[in-house]
Amino acid sequence: MSGAKKRNFQIEAFKHRVVVDPKYAEKTWKILEDAIHEIYNHNASGLSFEELYRNAYNMVLHKFGEKLYSGLVSTMTSHLKKIAKSIEAAQGAMFLEELNRNWTEHNKALQMIRDILMYMDRTFIPSTHKTPVHELGLNLWRDNIIHSSKIQTRLQDTLLELVQCERTGDVINRGLTRNITKMLMDLGPSVYQENFEKPFLDVSADFYRVESQQFIEHCDCGDYLKKAEKRLNEEIERVSHYLDARSEAKITSVVEKEMIESHMHRLVHMENSGLVSMIMDEKFEDLGRMYNLLLRVPNGLTIIKEVMTSHIRETGKDLVTDPERLKDPVNFVQELLDKKDRLDKIINLAFNNDKNFQNALNSSFEYFINLNPRSPEFISLFVDDKLRNGLKKDKEEDIETVLDKVMMLFRYLQEKDVFEKYYKQHLAKRLLSGKTSSDDAERSLIVKLKTECGYQFTSKLEGMFTDMKTSQDTMHGFYDAMGAEIADCPTLSVQVLTTGSWPTQSSSTCNLPPEILGVCDKFKTYYLGTHTGRRLTWQTNMGTAVLGATFGNVQKELGVSTYQMCILMLFNHSDRLSYKEIEQATEIPPSDLKRCLQSLACVKGKNVLRKDPMSKDIAEDDAFYFNDKFTTKLYRVKIGTVVAQKESEPEKQETRQRVEEDRKPQIEAAIVRIMKSRRVLDHNNIVTEVTKQLQSRFLPNPVVIKKRIESLIEREFLERDKTDRKLYRYLA
């Protein structure tokens, strides 16, 4: 409001009243004028305050307020002009001292003058909208001293020189400087800004432009950042010591602009010391400094993020496409996990856990992990390894953290259904061979997968666990029911697997030895007797057996697979058998048979069979003998079963094929779901929607989607719109 008041006010001519003594006003003013002189000359002790106050009161009362006021202005002005001369005359360093001393004295005098004229200040000045005495004194000081031509530039230069001295390491009189800047602030923000702040910022910008240029030429990135940080802190400290607090943001922005923003590209990309090498060398402190400094300037963090992202992507790409590493899946995944750990640590320690950086890290991992189509398989193999062996070394909680980390990698996968395929296979093998070392760990991972992808994803996996449990119960029931009847037979353990829950294996049955066949048939009868309407098929390719064997006179126990058992049982009746004979008797598929024979005859230390000729490979016309010279220190010998391993090329193709086949119904289901709710939709939108719906499991190929749409049209779920061929219609 005050602005409006002043702007629109006009001083009117004052209407004088006739006073008895025409010289009354002159006389009274003379007394007050003298008093003001005395105050400026430090002779106030001789004055009577009461008398002066009363005289000023009387002047206002008798309508001489205008005279009093204008008298005050001219008297004070003439004093200030004298003061200006004495300040101008001050030599060198005395200049600021003189200015400061006079400023203190002026303030004191102003206070005393205001005391005398208090009544005028309270009544006459508000009603005439004049400037109050104190403010008037400051304005006059500003106009006559600060804005005097001989003082203004000198003051400004002196102050800037002091700052420059301090920047180059000299010690200055901060107290005096503070008093002077305080004076400028007291005179109003605009005075401070015009006479000091603006030139200060300009000079600072020049200074730091030159200095940063020198630094960037001679320092490496880490050193440069240290220096920039130091300068920044110095400026903040300077503001707190002798500048207006509001200058802090302005001067720091100057330093930020000159020292950081103009060189940030060069700094981040600096050869051998920039961001990339800091990340490689894990220089947390330097990285933290870079983050904090670049945080201050626009786009600073974007640069860090971009460089970091491209670095991660490049190194990640090298990692996942390196053919050497592909040979060891477990190590491959371990490397990924280590890389992630390293980068997480950097983001945590140096980048303040910045969400943007975490996102960039995640998207980079997602990018390069999916560059290798075998990543899902490898991750599953890694889990397999951990769940088979890892537990022995690691403690329980460590397994949890490993699993959590694996889940993190799993999240990056686009083809989650491929992972599911492999995981199912590997889990089946673990379960059937009794190799899982911790049920809790298995279940905990399933729970994690369930949280991540929903229950559909894990329902079959859970079904596998249920089957294992039910089979155990069934076996108890079987033995309870049969009792003595089968006491003489070999001990049988059957796992009844629900079709569909388990990975489909080509059901290549073999001829079981008659000893086993008997008890198997008994079980079949028992099982079908208790469960009606079921079919049982023997999956001989997945079983295991423990055999007692006598080598010479030594009794041993052999742990073997079902196939191997079938082969070994043949040697109960003859000591020599040819490959053909074995194949005929057992009907084991050739590839499996060869592998079995290899593990029985060619592995050193476990060669319970002898082969003729003694070559590494199995040929069709080889002959096998029972090796009664077989010796070992162990009582129980475990013949190597075929372990889950990286798939061979044709197997891989086959899995791929199966995955593609499995995807078809899922894509079709998604299309039908979408069309059912939308009724009419064009091709591009269907593709987008389908991709959106399925991306939690895999990334459907648009070509495949198109094929599925065509197939649905053929089967009359959809039709093309008659007029617009791009549109599809849902047929209920």
Partner 1 sequence: MGIQKDRVRFNVGGRVFETTATTLANSGRNSLFGAMFNENWDLQPNITTTEHFIDRNPDCFSVLLDLLRTGELYIPSNIPEKLLYREALFYGLLDHVRTAKWGPFDGNRLHLARSITGRAPGDGTAIRAGPDGGCCVAHGSMVHVYDWMLEEHPPITLDYQRVNDAIWVDSESIVISACERLGRDDGGMGLFSSSTGELRYKFHVSHENLVKSYTGGALSFNSDYKLFSSCKGRSNEYGVGVWDQVTGKQIDFFYEPQGWSLGDADKLQWLNGTNCLLVATLFPRKDNCYISLLDFRDKSMAWSWSDIGAPIADERRVRDAIAMEETNSICVVNEYEDLGFMDLRSNNGIVRWSSRSRLMKGKMPDEPCYPKLALHGGQLFSSMNDSVSVFCGPDWVLTSRLRNSHGGSICDFSIGGDRLFALHSDENVFDIWETRPLSII
Residues that bind partner 1 (CB under 8 A): 1, 3-5, 7-9, 44-45, 47, 49-50, 53-54, 57, 108, 111-112, 115-116, 118-119, 122-123, 126-127, 129
What count of other Cβ atoms lies within 10 Å of the Cβ of residue 5?
9
| Per-residue b or e along 512-544, where b marks 16 or more CB atoms closer than 10 Å to that residue's CB | bbeebebbbebbeebbeeeeeeeeeebbbbbbb
User: Across-strand partners of 506?
Assistant: none
Shortest CB 80 distance to partner 1, Å: 19
Residue 138 or 494: the one with the smaller Cβ distance to partner 1 is 138
Residue 7 or 392: the one with the smaller Cβ distance to partner 1 is 7
CA distance 656 to 376: 12
Shortest CB 21 distance to partner 1, Å: 17
Residues 6+ apart with CB under 8 A from 42: 105
CA distance 282 to 591: 50
Structure tokens at 370: 């999916």
CA distance 409 to 386: 15
CA distance 117 to 68: 9
Residue 3 or 533: the one with the smaller Cβ distance to partner 1 is 3
Shortest CB 13 distance to partner 1, Å: 14
Burial of 60 (0-12, 13-18, 19+ CB in 10 A): buried
Residue 114 or 435: the one with the smaller Cβ distance to partner 1 is 114
Reduced to 3 states (helix: H, G, I; strand: E, B; else coil), residue 43 is coil
Shortest CB 79 distance to partner 1, Å: 17
Residue 8 or 723: the one with the smaller Cβ distance to partner 1 is 8
Residues 6+ apart with CB under 8 A from 347: 353, 354, 357, 358, 361
DSSP secondary structure string for all residues of 279-305: HHHT-HHHHHHHHHHHTTSTTHHHHHH
Shortest CB 3 distance to partner 1, Å: 5
Shortest CB 46 distance to partner 1, Å: 9
Residue 50 or 473: the one with the smaller Cβ distance to partner 1 is 50
Helix axes 65-89, 149-167, angle to 10 degrees: 50
CA distance 590 to 587: 8
Shortest CB 53 distance to partner 1, Å: 6
Shortest CB 142 distance to partner 1, Å: 22
Question: If you ran DSSP here, which 8-state letter would residue 723 be given?
Answer: S
Question: If you ran DSSP here, which 8-state letter would residue 44 be given?
Answer: G
Residue 1 or 732: the one with the smaller Cβ distance to partner 1 is 1
Residues 6+ apart with CB under 8 A from 614: none
Specify whether the CB–CB gap between 680 and 721 falls below 8 A: yes
Residue 9 or 455: the one with the smaller Cβ distance to partner 1 is 9
Specify whether the CB–CB gap between 599 and 606 falls below 8 A: yes
Shortest CB 101 distance to partner 1, Å: 17
Reduced to 3 states (helix: H, G, I; strand: E, B; else coil), residue 531 is coil
Q: State the distance between the two ends of the chain, measured CA to CA, in whole angstroms.
A: 73
Q: Where are the alpha helices (DSSP H) in 129-246?
A: 133-141, 149-167, 174-186, 189-192, 198-218, 221-242
What count of other Cβ atoms lies within 10 Å of the Cβ of residue 416?
23
Residues 6+ apart with CB under 8 A from 243: 181, 251
Shortest CB 76 distance to partner 1, Å: 16
Residue 134 or 182: the one with the smaller Cβ distance to partner 1 is 134
Sign of CA dihedral 268, 270, 276, 281: negative
Residue 122 or 327: the one with the smaller Cβ distance to partner 1 is 122
CA distance 517 to 47: 132
CA-nearest of 432, 419, 493 to 464 is 432
Residue with tokens 């730091």: 208
Q: CA gyration radius for the chain?
A: 47
Residue 3 or 514: the one with the smaller Cβ distance to partner 1 is 3
Shortest CB 664 distance to partner 1, Å: 52
Which CA distances in Å does 557 have to 316, 318, 547?
48, 48, 6
CA-nearest of 440, 429, 425, 426 to 391 is 440
Residue 98 or 115: the one with the smaller Cβ distance to partner 1 is 115
User: Across-strand partners of 556?
Assistant: 549
Shortest CB 250 distance to partner 1, Å: 25
Shortest CB 128 distance to partner 1, Å: 9
Residue 129 or 725: the one with the smaller Cβ distance to partner 1 is 129
Shortest CB 52 distance to partner 1, Å: 10
Shortest CB 125 distance to partner 1, Å: 12
Shortest CB 43 distance to partner 1, Å: 11
Amino acid at 710: E
CA distance 133 to 137: 6
Residue 51 or 557: the one with the smaller Cβ distance to partner 1 is 51
CA distance 172 to 190: 26
Residue 57 or 367: the one with the smaller Cβ distance to partner 1 is 57
Residue 123 or 438: the one with the smaller Cβ distance to partner 1 is 123
CA distance 18 to 63: 10
Shortest CB 440 distance to partner 1, Å: 53
Residue 124 or 563: the one with the smaller Cβ distance to partner 1 is 124
Structure tokens at 548: 């007692």
Shortest CB 135 distance to partner 1, Å: 15
User: Across-strand partners of 548?
Assistant: 557
Residue 127 or 591: the one with the smaller Cβ distance to partner 1 is 127
Structure tokens at 40: 């400026």
